[in-house]
Every structure is written in structure tokens, then in C-alpha cells.
A and B are shown apart, each in its own frame.
Chain A
């Protein structure tokens, strides 16, 4: 997460934080964005106070909550462990061994990201109705999320200096001991970071678990919300869930601080000697093929099957077209708004690094680490109570997308901005261009790739977003995700299939971008 190098800064006074003024328009914009990001957290705090201590304790300390906590915790821990092992082993095989077909496997191991977890579990459940409960949930969610560990670990392995391994080998260590003593410690930030990301996603997962009939906080909040609309019970469950997320988020932030020390060099200058698998080649290939079959083959086969079967029944082409249009429109709007909001936050963080700008940047992560269901609950309540005119409008949905996906845009804009030397802005000023002309003629064109990548990732997120859309979209507005949900919830798998297929199709190119973004982020 470092910010890359600028031009050599010899003999240049360091730009100390606070010495240069924070431009007011940028600061105001960034503050406004940050405030929006804080809405869900503030909501949880306010409703907890409103509910009162006694009532809160009564709602939280009961067997049902304990059961949900146990369900959520064992699934989160189990899934994080499985993803860590699968992701690390797969990354090592692809990056460090002489495994045949490495390029193909690299694609196959990232591709599950293009299939939303709830589509994956639809694929399994519709073929194998018994795939449910803890074990089913663990397997299916792990298959959906292990790329979150695979990607950063593979990037880390690619960036490791092979000299360390050579030194260990020359000191008499075998391949396994070398891996355990020199490689694994250096991979720890990537593995832990990936696993924590899996944990955060899992806490937020609703669709996949609901379909697998595995009750966790998200599904319980949803059911509460459906039955009582705005009960204190749902809000208190949300509060406990937020606490769980904050624990993971703190761990992630601490790790990110340390990861900087753990990183050495800027990568290997020469190709590494891959470790020969020998007799293990067969089992390794078989294992990765099996993993890809389970993670990709099953859901895709299932989709194909239901598409074929479903086409015999009537397909509502018009509904498909309108929900595709709605998804694309919401995606484009969400991407536009979110990327625009990312610009002032990223600019302040890169160009005026200081306590204020760092805090603002961090807060953008806090908001989005919260599950979509909590964000939706917060926005519904606030819309109803404070701005009734906005309730049931598209703008509330867009705000939810902003809160959920802002970090994707910030990370990308920040990275490209950091690669743009500030001296270019100085030069533009000296040539007579004012602040806005410099932004338009120099800064924006230079960070266009980052803006584009960020926008694409937000778009991907919006198209496959289910929970917040389900709760917030105006009545009668159906996206691909919600329409898919309606059908599969009523076990009409054939009718649901075209919507899932379209989501996967739209996701594929953006998934490719996500792969590149993670790679760049881990390498920088």
C-alpha cells in the first residue's frame, strides 16, 4: 500500500504536513464524503443509545444471538483457514513450481471472483439440494472466496527476492525447510491480509448463506427486518455484527501498518529457478483441476443446465432486458458518483499527507467494511425519519453503493496519483495554468487509468450487489441481482438462470481488472 516513488527529491525541502495549506474546496469535498461514510456507524451508535441499556442487553443476551454468533464465528474461522491454505498452496504451485499449465491455472484460480457467491451457492443448491448447513456453507463459501488469498500471495511470491531462498539453500536447507523458514514468514502479511478480507466478506455475506439455509447475523437481520420492518431487534443484531467487523478491520489496519516493514526490494530482477515437483506433479495438477472444477465447473455447469431446461418454459425477455438496463444504469451511476467522491480523498492523502488527510482516508475503509445489510438498514431508517422525500428513491441506493465501494475507487485513484510527480503540477502553474486548469489539463489525464479502473471495479460491485439493493431499491425496480433472487428464492431455478448468466458475463472483464489492481497494489 505504499505510494510509489516520485522523482528524485534531492535537495528539495520535504513537504511537511500542515505547512502547505489544505485547499478549501478539496477539504470540504473530502469531509462531506467522509461524513457519508460514517453514517452506518453513527446509525448503529445512535440506535443503541436510543434502545437503552436494559433493552439492548435483553435483545442481545439471548440464546438466539449466541447461536448466531457461534454460527458466524465457526464459519468465518473455518472459511478463513481453508482459504488461507488453499490460496497459499495454489499460489506457490503456480508461482514457484514447475507445474505444467501455470498460465491457465492462474486464470482459473482467479476466475471464481467473476461468479458472485450467491450465484455459486445457487449453482450448488439447485443441483444438490442437500448442500446446506455448516459443511455445505463452508465448502461453497470457501470456493467463492479463496481467490482473495490466492491473489495477494501470488503477487507477493512474484515480488520476493529469490536471493533469500538461494541463501537458505546454500546454508543447507532443503526445499521444504527453505519454504517454511524464509518464504512463509515473508508471505505472512499477504496471507493474513487475504484471510481478513475473506472474513470481512463472510460477515457481510447474505445471499449465499440464505440460500444454503445457514443462519448467520446477516440472514437473521434480514428476516427480522422483513417481519417487523424497523425493529430494535434487527438494529441490535446489526450492532453485534458491526462489532465483529470492527475487530477484523482493526486487525487489518494494524497488519497494513506492519506490512510495509515486511516488504523488501522491488522484486526479482531475474527469473527464478522453479522447484521441480517430480512425482508430485500428478497429484498437484489433479488437485488444482479438482479445485477449479468445484469452484468454476459446478456453478457454470449448473447455470448451463438451468438455461437449457429453463428455455423450455417461457422466458420473459422484456423483464430480462429491463432488469439488465437497470443494473447497467445503477452500475454506471454508482461508478460515476463513487469515483468522483474518491478524487478529493485520494488527492488530499497523496498530495497533503498529514494527520487529517490520513484519518479521512482511513474512515473511507471503515464505512465499507460494514455489511451491506447494516448500511441498508441505516439508510432506510434515516431516509424514513429524516428525509422522507428520499425514501424509496434511486439516490439512496446510490449512496449505499458509494459507502460500500468507495475504497475500490480510492485505492486505484491513489495509486495512479502517487505515480504522478507533484512537480508536474508546479510546472503547469508556472506556465500560467490555475488550479482548475491544472486539474483538467494535467492531473486528470494522468490519473485517467486509475479513475477508469476504479470505476470499473465499482461497476462490478454494483452489478453483483444483492443485499443493499434488495432493501433499498424503489418498489418495482428490479436489477439482475434482485430478479435472480426473487426467482431462486421461490425455487424457480430455470427462470433465475438467465439473470445469473448475465451477471457473470458482465463481471468477467471487471474481474480481470480487479486481478491487475491487486497485483499492482501488492507490488507497489
Chain B
């Protein structure tokens, strides 16, 4: 496995630009999630890396080897890029074993010794090797698809929304198994997804795409706590935004005087995450007053919409599901941690 480096990749279909000037570096043996809404160009980026289509401009390199530059494009069958599509796309006419060994040489196919090793790697019993794809669950199919992609020891592994077709119950287990297999194979991997929880929980590095551009490339924690702009902030999680006057690391806003990170001063916007808001009940009068307007109870936690009193904006707080305030009751709010500032 090697690092993957993409520089200045641009692609249009007819006259519609799909990707404009994308730079991305995926370090050797790490997993990068490319996160973005539908139609942002992330699947196109993956297909360009795999070689199914060619960029209009830019370069793509696996380690030292340039697989695409204008005027030269290595064919997909010679790139050694493992590809795991949506829903796995196992060859329906082949058994699990034959699917896994598809990319191996004829001698290795006959030998078949890697099958159980690879099934083990993705956490499946080797008893499955004689089954056909339609006899497997969706999660098993997805794991076999990964084993198939890993079998020829590819330079990079590309995963296109591999979990989006799975039931919620299967999704989490499959995600863990896939991430573990990628790590123990030491794979350099790019995973494309529109699910922010998936990107944040699995990846070493998250690239946020919007309208054909890679707007932020950072660690999961950095993407969540210090998003590049308010758009990214709202996309990677729920965000409370409000105007504020900032000076000397303090902001004055509807939540009172709160600490902020960042050097900017003046009339700005601040962003806080709902779980940073703490609700005080039973006459605890710390912070600012607010009235409970709506409670969405999810079990493990709850999302509470409050109007700041007397006529402030509406904010959302995320609290544990064990101690809910009463609807329409008056409470007080404080902030834990600090807010992030953005130009107003």
C-alpha cells in the first residue's frame, strides 16, 4: 500500500462542472472519508481515482507512480485500485470464494488458500466460501466485497457509500468490521459517504466536499469542533448560530458573555454545538433564562428547542434522555466549553 495524492483534479460532464481543483492527500495506510451531500461530486472523485473515467485536468498518483496526468491515463485494470461499490456488487454467478479470488492469477485462484485468510480478515466464517451472493445478508455481501477488493493486495482501496444500503441494525457492525479489516490490512483507503456520523467515527481524516470542491480536510475532531465555515458546521452536525460582538476572547450574544476560540474580533457570528448547552431547572438561576418549546425524545438522548427570554432567538440543546425539563417550563441555560467565531 502507498499514499494517494490528488492535485488540481477538475472534471465536467458536458457543461456542468462536477469537480473543480480538488487536492487530496491520503497518507500511507490511513482511512480518509470524503463527506458530502448528494451530487457534490464525491462519487465522481472515486471513479476518477479508480480510472473508470478521466479528469479534464490535474494529476493522480499512487505513491510515486502517476496514474493520471493530462495525456496519460493508466487503465483501471492496471491501476491496482480496489473498488467496493454500493451494495457490494458481488458477481452473482460466482461463489463467495470465486468472488474473492477473482482478481488473483489463475494459479492463485486454483490454490484458493487466501480465501479463508481474507474471510477471517473481514470477520466472516470460512464456511461461507461455497455460498452464492444471494444467500448472504447485505452486511455479509459488503464484507465479501471488501475481501474481494483486498485480495490482489491493491495500492489503494476505494469504498463508495458501502453501508448506505444496509439496515440500521446491520450497519454499525459492518462498519466496525470493515474499518478493522482495512486497518489490519494496512490499507490506504478512501471512503465516500453522505453520513457524517460514519465519516467522523471511522476515518483518520475527513474531507468535506461541497459543490465539487474539497472545502476542509482535517481530523474528525477538528472538522466537528472547528468547521471551516458555517456551512460545514451545519453539515457535519447540528449547529446553533447567532450574532455576537467579540473582543479579547469573549463574545457578547443572546447567551450572555461566553468564551470563544480564534483571534477574530468585532461583529461576528458564533457557533456552538447543541450538546454544549446545559439546562438548569428547579430554580438554579445560572446563565440566561429560556422557555422550553419542543422536546424530541430519542431514548439515548433528547433534543430540546428553547426560546431565549424575553425575546431572544430560538436555540437547540442536546441533553441525556434521563432528565427532561417540562414542556413550556422556564429554565436557565449555560454554555460548557467555548464557541467558534465566523465572519458575520
Residues on A lying within 8 angstroms of B by beta carbon are 7-8, 10-14, 16, 19-20, 421, 423-424, 426-434, 437, 441-442, 445-446
Query: Within the complex, which residue of A20, A434, A446 is in contact with B77, where a contact is CB–CB below 8 Å?
Result: A434
Task: Establish whether residues A13 and B83, one from each chain, have CB atoms under 8 Å apart when the complex forms.
Answer: no
Residue B129 at the chain A interface, CB threshold 8 Å: no
CA A431 to CA B109, docked complex, whole Å: 13
Between A and B, 12 residue pairs with Cβ closer than 8 Å are: A7-B86, A10-B86, A13-B13, A16-B14, A426-B85, A429-B52, A430-B50, A430-B149, A431-B151, A432-B78, A432-B103, A434-B75
How many residues of chain B get a CB closer than 8 Å to chain A's CBs? 41
Which residue of chain A lies nearest to B105 when distances are taken between CB atoms in the complex?
A432
Query: Within the complex, which residue of A13, A14, A423 is in contact with B85, where a contact is CB–CB below 8 Å?
Result: A423
Residue B91 at the chain A interface, CB threshold 8 Å: yes
Residue B148 at the chain A interface, CB threshold 8 Å: yes
7 closest pairs, A vs B, by CB?
A431-B103, A430-B83, A429-B76, A423-B89, A445-B93, A11-B38, A429-B77
Which residue of chain A lies nearest to B148 when distances are taken between CB atoms in the complex?
A431
Task: Establish whether residues B148 and A446, one from each chain, have CB atoms under 8 Å apart when the complex forms.
Answer: no
Contact with A along B87-117 (1 / 0, CB 8 A): 1010111000000001100000000000000
**Given contacts A8-B87, A427-B91, A433-B77, could you give 9 more A-B pairs where the C-beta distance is less than 8 Å?**
A10-B86, A428-B102, A429-B51, A429-B52, A430-B154, A432-B77, A432-B103, A434-B77, A446-B91
Residues on B lying within 8 angstroms of A by beta carbon are 13-14, 18, 38-39, 42-44, 47, 50-53, 75-83, 85-87, 89, 91-93, 102-103, 148-149, 151-152, 154, 158, 161, 164-165, 194
CB neighbours (8 Å) of B14 from chain A are 16, 19
A431 in contact with B86 given A13-B13, A441-B102 (CB within 8 Å) = no
Task: Establish whether residues A426 and B103, one from each chain, have CB atoms under 8 Å apart when the complex forms.
Answer: no
Instruction: Give chain A nearest CB distance to B15 CB in angstroms.
Output: 11
Which residue of chain A lies nearest to B84 when distances are taken between CB atoms in the complex?
A427
Query: Within the complex, which residue of B81, B87, B93, B194 is in contact with A11, where a contact is CB–CB below 8 Å?
Result: B194
CB neighbours (8 Å) of A16 from chain B are 13-14
CA A19 to CA B11, docked complex, whole Å: 12
Instruction: Give chain A nearest CB distance to B155 CB in angstroms.
Output: 11
Question: Which residue, of B76, B87, B194, has the highest number of chain A Cβ atoms within 10 A?
Answer: B76
Task: Establish whether residues A433 and B103, one from each chain, have CB atoms under 8 Å apart when the complex forms.
Answer: yes
CA A427 to CA B161, docked complex, whole Å: 15
Query: Within the complex, which residue of A7, A8, A430, A437 is in contact with B79, where a contact is CB–CB below 8 Å?
Result: A430
Instruction: Give chain B nearest CB distance to A425 CB in angstroms.
Output: 9
Which residue of chain A lies nearest to B42 when distances are taken between CB atoms in the complex?
A11
A427 in contact with B83 given A432-B103, A433-B102, A446-B93 (CB within 8 Å) = yes
CB neighbours (8 Å) of A430 from chain B are 50-51, 76-77, 79, 81-83, 149, 154, 158
Query: Within the complex, which residue of A7, A14, A445 is in contact with B89, where a contact is CB–CB below 8 Å?
Result: A7
Which residue of chain B lies nearest to A421 when distances are taken between CB atoms in the complex?
B89
CA A13 to CA B39, docked complex, whole Å: 8
CA A445 to CA B132, docked complex, whole Å: 15
Which residue of chain B lies nearest to A442 when distances are taken between CB atoms in the complex?
B91
Task: Establish whether residues B39 and A11, one from each chain, have CB atoms under 8 Å apart when the complex forms.
Answer: yes
CA A445 to CA B53, docked complex, whole Å: 25
Instruction: Give chain B nearest CB distance to A293 CB in angstroms.
Output: 45
The count of A-to-B residue pairs whose CB atoms sit within 8 angstroms is 90
Which residue of chain B lies nearest to A435 when distances are taken between CB atoms in the complex?
B77
Task: Establish whether residues A12 and B43, one from each chain, have CB atoms under 8 Å apart when the complex forms.
Answer: yes
Task: Establish whether residues B85 and A432, one from each chain, have CB atoms under 8 Å apart when the complex forms.
Answer: no
CB neighbours (8 Å) of A421 from chain B are 89
CA A446 to CA B93, docked complex, whole Å: 7
CA A12 to CA B43, docked complex, whole Å: 6
Task: Establish whether residues A11 and B161, one from each chain, have CB atoms under 8 Å apart when the complex forms.
Answer: yes
CA A88 to CA B152, docked complex, whole Å: 57
Task: Establish whether residues A432 and B80, one from each chain, have CB atoms under 8 Å apart when the complex forms.
Answer: yes
CA A424 to CA B44, docked complex, whole Å: 17
Instruction: Give chain A nearest CB distance to B40 CB in angstroms.
Output: 8
CA A423 to CA B92, docked complex, whole Å: 12
CB neighbours (8 Å) of B83 from chain A are 426-427, 430-431
Query: Within the complex, which residue of A11, A12, A19, A426 is in contact with B76, where a contact is CB–CB below 8 Å?
Result: A426
CB neighbours (8 Å) of A7 from chain B are 85-87, 89
CB neighbours (8 Å) of A442 from chain B are 91
CA A354 to CA B110, docked complex, whole Å: 41
A424 in contact with B91 given A11-B39, A429-B52, A433-B77 (CB within 8 Å) = yes
Task: Establish whether residues A446 and B92, one from each chain, have CB atoms under 8 Å apart when the complex forms.
Answer: yes
CA A288 to CA B176, docked complex, whole Å: 63
CB neighbours (8 Å) of B86 from chain A are 7-8, 10, 423
CA A426 to CA B165, docked complex, whole Å: 19
Task: Establish whether residues A13 and B43, one from each chain, have CB atoms under 8 Å apart when the complex forms.
Answer: yes
CA A429 to CA B42, docked complex, whole Å: 20
Question: Which residue, of B86, B152, B165, has the highest number of chain A Cβ atoms within 10 A?
Answer: B86
Which residue of chain A lies nearest to B102 when distances are taken between CB atoms in the complex?
A431
CB neighbours (8 Å) of A424 from chain B are 89, 91
Instruction: Give chain B nearest CB distance to A408 CB in angstroms.
Output: 24
Which residue of chain B lies nearest to A8 when distances are taken between CB atoms in the complex?
B86
CA A12 to CA B47, docked complex, whole Å: 9
Question: Which residue, of B42, B81, B82, B92, has the highest number of chain A Cβ atoms within 10 A?
Answer: B92
CA A431 to CA B100, docked complex, whole Å: 10
Which residue of chain A lies nearest to B40 when distances are taken between CB atoms in the complex?
A11
Instruction: Give chain A nearest CB distance to B232 CB in angstroms.
Output: 19
CB neighbours (8 Å) of B52 from chain A are 426, 429
CA A426 to CA B89, docked complex, whole Å: 10
Instruction: Give chain A nearest CB distance to B36 CB in angstroms.
Output: 9
CA A11 to CA B41, docked complex, whole Å: 8
Task: Establish whether residues B165 and A427, one from each chain, have CB atoms under 8 Å apart when the complex forms.
Answer: no
A427 in contact with B13 given A13-B18, A434-B77 (CB within 8 Å) = no
CB neighbours (8 Å) of A13 from chain B are 13, 18, 43-44, 47
Which residue of chain B lies nearest to A419 when distances are taken between CB atoms in the complex?
B92
Task: Establish whether residues A431 and B152, one from each chain, have CB atoms under 8 Å apart when the complex forms.
Answer: yes
CA A429 to CA B75, docked complex, whole Å: 8
Instruction: Give chain A nearest CB distance to B221 CB in angstroms.
Output: 26
CB neighbours (8 Å) of B154 from chain A are 430
CB neighbours (8 Å) of B151 from chain A are 431
Question: Which residue, of B52, B53, B78, B151, has the highest number of chain A Cβ atoms within 10 A?
Answer: B52
CA A68 to CA B279, docked complex, whole Å: 95
CA A8 to CA B93, docked complex, whole Å: 20
Which residue of chain A lies nearest to B92 when distances are taken between CB atoms in the complex?
A446
Instruction: Give chain A nearest CB distance to B60 CB in angstroms.
Output: 14
Instruction: Give chain B nearest CB distance to A153 CB in angstroms.
Output: 33
Which residue of chain A lies nearest to B11 when distances are taken between CB atoms in the complex?
A13
CA A427 to CA B93, docked complex, whole Å: 14
CA A8 to CA B166, docked complex, whole Å: 13
CA A441 to CA B165, docked complex, whole Å: 27
CA A12 to CA B80, docked complex, whole Å: 22
Instruction: Give chain A nearest CB distance to B169 CB in angstroms.
Output: 20
Task: Establish whether residues B165 and A8, one from each chain, have CB atoms under 8 Å apart when the complex forms.
Answer: yes
Which residue of chain B lies nearest to A14 when distances are taken between CB atoms in the complex?
B13
CB neighbours (8 Å) of A423 from chain B are 85-86, 89
CA A440 to CA B53, docked complex, whole Å: 22
Instruction: Give chain A nearest CB distance to B24 CB in angstroms.
Output: 18
Instruction: Give chain B nearest CB distance to A141 CB in angstroms.
Output: 43
Instruction: Give chain A nearest CB distance to B207 CB in angstroms.
Output: 15
Task: Establish whether residues B43 and A432, one from each chain, have CB atoms under 8 Å apart when the complex forms.
Answer: no
CA A429 to CA B79, docked complex, whole Å: 9
CB neighbours (8 Å) of A427 from chain B are 83, 85, 89, 91, 148
CB neighbours (8 Å) of B161 from chain A are 10-11
CA A10 to CA B149, docked complex, whole Å: 22
CB neighbours (8 Å) of B91 from chain A are 424, 427-428, 442, 446
